[in-house]
Amino acid sequence: MAQISTANLQALLDKLARQTAEANGDALASAVATGAVYVVTVPNSGLSVANADVLAALETLVGTTIADTPLSDLILAEVQRLNLQNPALVRDYLRVVVDGLDNYGRLNNALLATDRGGLDAMLRVLNASTPTLRAHALFNKYFGRLSPANVFVGTPYVLGSIAVSGADAATYTPTGTGLLDTCLYAPGKIAILNTKAEGLTSTVLTLTCIKNGVPTSVAFTVATTTDKYLTAGGDTSKTMTGCTALVSISGGVASDAFSVVILPDRAISAA
């Protein structure tokens, strides 16, 4: 039996997460890409707002975009019922839609003992060799269907902070162990987040990062000093789980400060 396309599955996961997050007033990151300023928005929360933003688009996606009949049969009726009842909804109604995804996953993938449902198995297959599609942390917060390997952090996860005291002098302070909580989240892409960068020159930071459990030296060139600007390192794979030390700094400006973070895979604020 054909499996839903990765793009359509991502759209479903993101729309479900956004609808529930907006209904409950969670802050949503509207920019999480490197080479940009990290922006957070707090939408006007409430069921009617969330429903207006998401449900009609969700019905269109399921009813016209996703051509796989078994999947449409499992969830389209519920999506249409939810949309017609807008805004008289509770979050639990959406669980019926996710139940449909779980049932569809059981049709398409062999379950392992560690899988938490059919959807978890679908994502496990997609992520078997390389990180292809993980769900937003807010999806798991409200629906709780996925194992950590299939969930990405919802906001930049702070591994530690860097306080610059001179051109080639800085102190790295890890947050706790400096490691990602892999009991909750999958490994991700590591980046530098400006928190008080004021210098006018390019700063090069070399850090000892943990990649697939192995200490790996990664260099970051912070050329833009805008507050909250995100800078990617020389390794942009989504396989990082921590940062343990600052190896060196050059071009630093005293009083600058940075955070070392694991980035979300993507934003869901416009899903």
Question: What does the pLDDT look like over 171-208, one tens digit per residue?
Answer: 999 999 999 999 999 999 999 999 987 766 789 999 99
pLDDT band for 2, please (50, 70, 90 cuts). low
Tokens representing residue 18 in the block: 């956004």
- Alpha helices, H only, 112-251: 118-126, 137-143
Among 119, 134, 152, identify where a domain stops.
Answer: 152
pLDDT of res. 97: 86
Domain co-membership, 191 together with 69:
no
For residues 246 and 172, is the Cβ–Cβ distance under 8 A?
yes
Q: What number of other Cβ atoms are within 10 A of residue 198's Cβ?
A: 13
Domain annotation covers residue 171? yes
Query: Of the residues 127, 152, 177, which one is the last residue of a structural domain?
Result: 152
Do 24 and 113 fall into the same domain?
A: yes
Same domain, yes or no: 64 and 117: yes
Could you list the residue range(s) of the whole structural domain that residue 53 is in? 6-152
How do residues 66-100 score in pLDDT, each as one tens digit? 878 888 888 888 888 777 776 555 556 788 888 88
N- to C-terminal Cα separation, the chain: 27
pLDDT given for residue 1 in this prediction: 42
Domain boundary among 92, 119, 152: 152
Report residue 98 CA to chain centroid gap. 19
**178 and 124, same structural domain?**
no
pLDDT given at position 257: 94
Q: What are phi and psi of 151, to 5 degrees?
A: -130, 130
pLDDT average, residue stretch 8-24: 91
Q: How do residues 209-244 score in pLDDT, each as one tens digit?
A: 999 899 999 999 998 778 899 999 999 999 999 999
Percent of all residues in the chain with a pLDDT value above 90, rounded to a whole number: 55
- Answer yes or no: is 271 within a domain: no
**Which of 165-169's residues contact partners 24+ apart within 8 Å by CB, and which partners?**
165/252, 165/254, 166/252, 166/254, 167/249, 167/250, 167/251, 167/252, 167/253, 168/248, 168/249, 168/250, 168/252, 169/249, 169/252
Q: Is residue 184 a part of any domain in this protein?
A: yes
pLDDT of residue 216: 97
**Both 183 and 134 in a single domain?**
no
* Structural tokens at position 191: 């980046």
Q: Which residue has the higher pLDDT, 196 or 9?
A: 9
Q: What is the pLDDT of residue 258?
A: 95
What is the Cα gyration radius of the chain? 21
How many domains, the chain? 2
pLDDT given at position 52: 82
Whole-number pLDDT of residue 104: 87
* Assigned domain for 224 exists: yes
* 8 Å CB contact between 100 and 80: no
Question: Are residues 38 and 162 located together in one domain of the fold?
Answer: no
- Mean local confidence (pLDDT), 148-153: 97
Per-residue pLDDT tens digits for 121-140 = 999 999 999 999 999 999 99
Clarify whether residues 176 and 119 are in a common domain.
no
Same domain for 171 and 148, yes or no, is: no
- Which residues make beta-bridge pairs with 204? 221, 250
Residue 44: predicted pLDDT:
64
- Residue 107 and residue 49 share a domain: yes
| Ramachandran bin of 245, using left for φ above 0, alpha for ψ from -120 to 50, beta for the remaining angles | beta
Residues near 7 by Cβ (< 8 Å), separated by ≥ 6? none
**CA 166 – CA 253 distance, rounded (Å):** 5
Same domain, 121 and 25: yes
d(CA 45, CA 22): 5
